[in-house]
Amino acid sequence: MSPLSLEIGLKVLEQLENDLTVQRRQRELQLEQARYEARLAQRQYDAVDPDNRLVASELERRWNEKLERVTRLEQAYNQAEQEAEWHITPEERKAIQELSQDLPALWKSASTTNQERKQLLRLAIESVQLDGVTQAGQIAIQIRWRSGTITRCSIKRPVPGEWSLKTPPHAVAQIHEMAGRYTYADIADRLNAAGWRTAFGRPFTSQHVGYICRRDKLGTSDEVS
């Protein structure tokens, strides 16, 4: 794991530095464009006939707007530069590298988000190969890690409809047991009182119980009444 751990630690540092560089370049380009537009507005104002007061007034207004935008961008740029001024101390760099060598702790940490876990996997995994042909009913999985290690496993191929939402089997069993002795509404009340819910997580109703009874060809006291 040590080559992989070191690579992860270094990539984290590199990503932080790259992000700061990209953000700084974007701010510089935005400020450069705003200054160009302000200079262009000034030239247009200088070139207008002073006697044409209406046009001169409009060009002056546009020029002032460009100058105000330059001022706002310069202030935002200076503030962003101050906030981005940070340097990783040798102690901080060492702490990051030590943490990168303990991937289980990093993975299980409450401060690690699911998005960060996905990024860790992208850094750790080089490729994934799936084989659903060689062995009938099975999917062979091969994971090649950047450390050079290869993990192989096999899982059962899902049957169509296997992962669809279904009424909990224990709730269905309870319906089978009570059918013929209680009404649909009574069965629904008893299921709800026991804490059972439908496939969609909702409380049972007489309509839902009735559907299961008719589907499974069960008799209930509703038919008698």
pLDDT at 5: 57
- Looking up tokens 């992989």 gives 4
Q: What are the domain boundaries of the chain?
A: 2-99, 124-160, 169-224
Over the range 167-176, which residues count as b (16 or more CB within 10 Å of their CB) and which as e? Answer: beeebbebbe
Q: What is the pLDDT of residue 131?
A: 93
| Integer CA distances (angstroms), 133 to 56, 156, 158, 161, in order | 77, 12, 14, 20
CB atoms within 10 A of CB 43: 11
List the one residue out of 151, 213, 164 whose CA is nearest residue 188.
Answer: 213
The pLDDT value recorded for residue 90 is 76
Over the chain (225 residues), what is each successive 10-residue block's mean pLDDT? Answer: 56 75 89 94 88 88 93 90 71 71 78 87 88 90 87 85 79 93 93 93 93 85 51
Cα separation, 175 vs 182, in Å, equals 9
pTM of the model: 0.36
What are the Cα distances from residue 42, in Å, to 39, 72, 73? 5, 18, 18
pLDDT at residue 140, rounded to an integer: 94
Helix (H, G, I), strand (E, B) or coil at 140: strand
Output the pLDDT for position 178.
93
Q: Annotate 168-204 with DSSP letters as a single string.
A: -HHHHHHHHHHBTTB-HHHHHHHHHHTT---TTSPPP
Contacts (Cβ under 8 Å, ≥6 apart) of 135: 154
- Distance, CA of 52 to CA of 56 (rounded, Å): 6
